[in-house]
């Protein structure tokens, strides 16, 4: 999907393979069957020029043994070498082992301390398409690519969505091709301090109702990365509190009780990094904070779920939506499990396509849950096999923030092709723009 010539990043769902895990468990597979070894083999292709007319001046392959469940291996495209560990900025791509499969991550956001990111995932680009690119920062069709479109790995939770900026709190460019502003969605989010309790009234656990009201601050109110918000404690809904934070450079942690900025190690409920938000729970923090969408205002989206520009640009929204904060008819979780806890997500890990018991496409590879599905794809008649989708590709920015690489998974080999639990060897081919 493209918008103004630039792709819309795939849904930031994490490839946790819940369905795969369930099927494996039913068939005797799982974490106990994950390969025990994580020792990689040596990259097989040395540095070579690609073409003299492109900024991609190096190419190579990375061949490695799939790491055990829950462990990771990382690679530095610029140095063309696997790194000793996954710390610092000198790595660009992380492969994390799962239940006989893997997920891919960039050195950014929630996955690393680097300045990396991904311009689309395996469903957004093909290897053939990206090989035609002469420069990683220039789309041959649309021109220069803003650095912000190399999406960082981020928390995935109640504040994430499937729109162009993966945000449930904002919509981008509702006015058309020349509109580059962010607009609040005016959703009312419920935020509980105890996700083990279903109650959302504030009687069983402290619960806040919160609305995001803007994105711009500074002199003249034009500086991006300054989200503003307002909230109430649902136990005392008559007291509306407001705040704005400068989250243009890094995460800003906020204590809704104190009404003040906190720290990552202090007391906090919600954190902001430009238009990315996270809550202190799940994979984002040590707390028990989680969220729920209490209301999406009527009329803000058409029947195709597209933003209605006139509603988003209405100057009276701040006034007309205020009553939603204290409305006792907001949607609430039916059970404690309905609270949305933060997970982690990357553009490199889109949601799979397909329906069990047929093949499921995870972008970089397809999973064949039955022997029949494997046979139909020309593979051995073995259930739970995966096979590389070599046509799928992505473009990533390196951990240093100045290098780029395009890559694809070209091969997944089993030590024993008749045993889906046997060790896997993966091969990734890439071109580097140093």
Burial class (CB in 10 A: 0-12, 13-18, 19+), 177: exposed
The span from the CA of 332 to the CA of 350, in Å, is: 28
Place of tokens 């729920």: 292
Q: Do 90 and 63 touch, CB atoms closer than 8 A?
A: no
Tokens of 227: 């989200």
Read off the pLDDT band of 139 (50, 70, 90): confident
* pLDDT one-digit tens code per residue, 175-226: 988 999 999 999 999 999 999 999 999 888 999 999 999 999 988 899 999 9
Q: What pLDDT digit, counting tens, does each position of 28-56 carry?
A: 333 333 333 334 444 545 555 544 579 99
- Flag whether pLDDT at 326 surpasses 90: yes
Instruction: Please name the residues in contact with 304: beta carbons below 8 A apart, sequence gap of 6 or more.
Output: none
Task: Check pLDDT > 80 for residue 378.
Answer: yes
CA 223-229-230 angle, to 5 degrees, is: 150
8 A C-beta contact, residue 147 and residue 108: no
**CA 22 to the chain's CA centroid:** 23
Averaged pLDDT for residues 278-303: 95
| CB 105 within 8 Å of CB 91 | no
The confidence score (pLDDT) of residue 354 equals 95
Would you give the distance in Å from CA 298 to the centre of its chain? 27
Q: Using one digit for the tens of pLDDT, what is the confidence trace for 152-180?
A: 898 789 999 988 788 999 999 999 889 99
Supply the pLDDT for residue 28: 37
Residue 23 has pLDDT above 60, yes or no: no
Work out the percent of the chain whose per-residue pLDDT is above 70.
88
Q: What percent of the chain has pLDDT over 90?
A: 75
Cβ-defined contacts of 178-182 (< 8 Å, 24+): 181/215, 181/216, 182/215, 182/216, 182/224, 182/275
Higher pLDDT, 219 or 365: 365
For residue 349, the SS3 value is coil
Give 27's pLDDT tier (boundaries 50, 70, 90): very low
* The pairing of beta strand 58-65 with beta strand 45-48: antiparallel
Quote the pTM value: 0.63
């Amino acid at each position: 999907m493209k918008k103004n010539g630039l792709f819309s990043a795939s849904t930031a769902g994490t490839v946790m393979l819940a369905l795969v895990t369930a099927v494996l468990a039913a068939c005797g597979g799982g974490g106990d069957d994950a390969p025990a070894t994580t020792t990689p083999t040596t990259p097989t292709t040395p540095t070579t020029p690609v073409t003299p007319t492109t900024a991609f001046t190096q190419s190579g392959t990375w061949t490695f043994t799939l790491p055990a469940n829950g462990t990771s291996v990382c690679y530095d495209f610029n140095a063309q070498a696997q790194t000793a560990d996954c710390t610092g900025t000198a790595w660009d791509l992380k492969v994390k082992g799962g239940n006989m499969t893997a997920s891919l991550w960039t050195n950014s956001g929630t996955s690393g301390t680097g300045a990396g990111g991904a311009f689309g995932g395996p469903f957004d680009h093909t290897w053939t398409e990206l090989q035609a690119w002469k420069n990683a920062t220039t789309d041959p069709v649309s021109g220069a690519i803003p650095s912000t479109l190399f999406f960082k790995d981020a928390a995935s939770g109640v504040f994430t969505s499937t729109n162009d900026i993966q945000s449930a709190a904002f919509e981008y460019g509702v006015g058309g091709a020349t509109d580059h502003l962010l607009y609040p969605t005016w959703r009312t989010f419920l935020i509980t301090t105890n996700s083990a309790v279903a109650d959302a009234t504030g009687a069983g656990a402290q619960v806040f109702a919160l609305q995001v009201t803007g994105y711009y601050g500074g002199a003249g109110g034009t500086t991006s990365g300054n989200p503003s918000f307002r909230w109430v404690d649902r136990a005392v809904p008559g007291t509306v509190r407001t705040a704005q934070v400068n989250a243009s450079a890094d995460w800003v942690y906020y204590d809704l009780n104190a009404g003040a900025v906190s720290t990552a190690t202090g007391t906090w409920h919600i954190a902001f990094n430009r238009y990315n938000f996270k809550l202190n729970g799940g994979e984002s923090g040590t707390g028990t904070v989680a969220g729920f969408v209490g209301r999406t205002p009527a009329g803000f989206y058409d029947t195709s779920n597209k933003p209605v520009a006139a509603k988003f640009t209405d100057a009276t929204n701040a006034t007309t939506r205020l009553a939603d904060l204290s409305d006792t008819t907001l949607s609430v979780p039916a059970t404690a499990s309905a609270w949305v806890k933060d997970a982690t997500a990357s553009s490199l890990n889109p949601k799979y396509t397909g329906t069990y018991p047929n093949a499921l496409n995870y972008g970089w590879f397809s999973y064949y849950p039955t022997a029949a599905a494997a046979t139909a794809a020309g593979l051995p008649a073995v259930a739970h096999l995966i096979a590389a989708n070599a046509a799928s590709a992505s473009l990533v920015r390196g951990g240093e923030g100045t290098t780029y690489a395009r890559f694809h998974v070209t091969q997944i080999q089993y030590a024993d092709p008749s045993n889906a639990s046997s060790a896997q060897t993966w091969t990734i081919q890439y071109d580097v723009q140093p």
